[in-house]
């Protein structure tokens, strides 16, 4: 939802439609691919999760790769076909059909790549704060991996905390109700979530005993 909101807040959906919002959604969840290491047991999970995908190099690179692939698919009219399949039977004027797929444009490519990279990095930014738990130790991110093992964390909000989730759920209903105001709604939602994280961070800083780090 953070990726979706960044795309909507930028207004790019007006120019590129739902595919660019989908790219933002997918790439903002992408760094969690290293969580699939759970399939290989607890030891593999402990070593790989929040490491292999949760660093600047891999997150930016994988976000860019997905965005480039998606832009290529858009040039081939792939997303238009998907939309039409969902809307089969709808009046022609209501279909998302383009006369022809968009032509290659370097600026468009740069914008799509930027969306993939920024959305993927936004995941790391949020994970830095979503690392608090009263009984568990924080889970820092090795942002410069594999070049450095130095880690960062600002434990503010508990894993699984539902505050931001509640904001995003309410937002989804607002987006359905007022789709033309998606950009404004996205700005409000991002601001509320940012304020929520700051408030929770303040509560944590005021509650932990001295010496806790
Ligand atoms: Zn994560």
Per-residue pLDDT at 119: 97
**If pLDDT is split at 50, 70 and 90, which confidence band does 89 have?**
low
Higher-scoring residue by pLDDT: 19, 46: 19
CA of 33 to the centre of ligand 1 (A): 8
Residue where the block lists tokens 């949760």: 54
CA of 108 to the centre of ligand 1 (A): 28
CA of 50 to the centre of ligand 1 (A): 6
**If pLDDT is split at 50, 70 and 90, which confidence band does 166 have?**
very high
pLDDT digits (tens, 9 = 90+) for 141-162: 999 999 999 999 998 898 888 9
Indicate if the pLDDT at residue 107 is higher than 80.
Answer: yes
**If pLDDT is split at 50, 70 and 90, which confidence band does 181 have?**
very high
Q: Give 51-90 as a 3 state SS string.
A: CCCCCHHHHHHHHHHHHHHHHHHHHCCHHHHHHHHHCCCC
Distance CA 176, CA 92 (A): 22
- For residue 158, the cross-strand partners are 132
SS3 141: strand
Distance CA 34, CA 16 (A): 30
How many of the other CB atoms lie within 10 Å of CB of 142? 18
Beta strands in 34-157 (DSSP E): none
**If pLDDT is split at 50, 70 and 90, which confidence band does 208 have?**
low
Question: Best-predicted range by mean pLDDT among 106-120, 128-142, 157-171?
Answer: 106-120
Indicate if the pLDDT at residue 73 is higher than 70.
Answer: yes
Greatest extent of the chain over all pairs of C-alpha atoms, in Å: 66
**If pLDDT is split at 50, 70 and 90, which confidence band does 84 have?**
confident
- Residues 84 and 97: beta-carbon distance below 8 Å: yes
Q: Give 159-201 as a 3 state SS string.
A: CCCCHHHHHHHHHHHHHHHCHHHHHHHHHHHHHHHHHHHHHHH
The two three-digit tokens of residue 76, written as one number: 């081939």
CA of 49 to the centre of ligand 1 (A): 8
């Amino acid at each position: 939802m953070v990726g979706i909101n960044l795309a909507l807040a930028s207004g790019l959906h007006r120019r590129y439609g739902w595919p660019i919002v989908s790219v933002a959604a997918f790439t903002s969840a992408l760094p969690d691919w290293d969580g699939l290491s759970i399939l290989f047991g607890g030891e593999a999970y402990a070593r790989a999760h929040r490491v292999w995908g949760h660093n600047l190099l891999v997150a930016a690179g994988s976000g860019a790769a997905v965005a480039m692939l998606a832009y290529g698919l858009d040039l081939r009219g792939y997303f238009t076909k998907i939309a039409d399949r969902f809307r089969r039977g709808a009046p022609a004027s209501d279909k998302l059909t383009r006369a022809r797929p968009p032509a290659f444009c370097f600026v468009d490519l740069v914008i799509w790549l930027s969306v993939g990279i920024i959305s993927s990095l936004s995941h790391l930014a949020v994970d830095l704060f979503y690392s608090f738990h009263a009984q568990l130790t924080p889970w820092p991110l090795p942002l410069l991996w594999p070049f450095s093992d130095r880690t960062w964390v600002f434990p503010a909000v508990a894993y699984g905390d539902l505050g931001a989730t509640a904001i995003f759920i309410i937002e989804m209903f607002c987006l359905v109700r007022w789709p033309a105001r998606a950009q404004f709604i996205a700005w409000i939602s991002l601001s509320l979530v940012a304020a929520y994280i700051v408030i929770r961070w303040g509560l944590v800083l005021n509650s932990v005993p001295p010496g806790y780090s």
